[in-house]
Amino acid sequence: MKFKPLSILLSLLLVGCTLASTQPMPTPTLAPTSTLALPTYRNTPAPDAQNAAKTFLQAWKDEDYPKMYGLLTSISQDAITEADFEQRYRDVAVNMTLITVNYQVLSSLTNPASAQVSYQVVFHTTLLGDITPDNIVMNLSLNRGSWQVQWDDGLIMPALKGGNKLRLDYSVPARGNIYDSSGLPIAAQTDADGWKFSPGRILAAVDPPSSAGRKPLRDHERVAQ
């Protein structure tokens, strides 16, 4: 009988431990934090280089040289004045007897800040017919969202690159020979010798001193002498 209190105490301890082990553990909560927006990307394509080249070439066809000059890069404008730029194109037009110029853009290659455009021109002239030089490559630079032309003389025609000049030399041919039906010349080129007499000077001539006392010469005798 004296062991009962101890048994009761052990039972209470076991029950307490069981109740303690069955209590749910508190779930930790995190304090709310601000979230960052995901970055966005925007792809801005470069303008069409072919359109820039066509604008330059069309201004050339229209003889709008101030507009052409305005499409050049600042480096190109530093290398040649607007007056010299216009005179360069006018000199070429005069020397080839240019009527008009036509162009065709063939292809292009575009990089983020530079581009190349290949084109062909045809010069319609009065004396030389149609002139079609080799294909030409135009280099362009992107500046503030627009293409500008890196100009040199080769953009007119490749043969002018480096400052070469175009000059038209012409000569009037001699008159051709004319023959009759039998093959004899009616009008033909030939060499001829000519003699020129000045009667006034002959008549004004005087006899040399050694002729003193001699009979004066008649006019026909002077000529014969």
Has residue 117 been placed in a domain? yes
Has residue 176 been placed in a domain? no
Has residue 221 been placed in a domain? no
Has residue 115 been placed in a domain? yes
Residue 109's region, left for phi above 0, alpha for psi from -120 to 50, else beta, is beta
pLDDT, tens only, 16-38 = 555 445 556 666 666 666 666 77
pLDDT band of residue 80 (cuts 50, 70, 90) is very high
Buried b (16+ CB within 10 A) or exposed e, 67-99: ebbebbbeebeeebeeeebbebbeebbeebebe
pLDDT, tens only, 177-210 = 888 888 888 887 777 666 666 666 665 555 555 5
CA distance 212 to 225: 17
Has residue 28 been placed in a domain? no
Tokens representing 31 are 């304090």
Has residue 31 been placed in a domain? no
Has residue 184 been placed in a domain? no
Please report, for the domain that includes residue 65, its CATH number.
Answer: 3.10.450.100
Number of separate domains in the chain: 1
Identify the domain containing residue 76 by its residue range.
Answer: 49-160
The reply to whether the predicted model has a pTM over 0.75 is: no
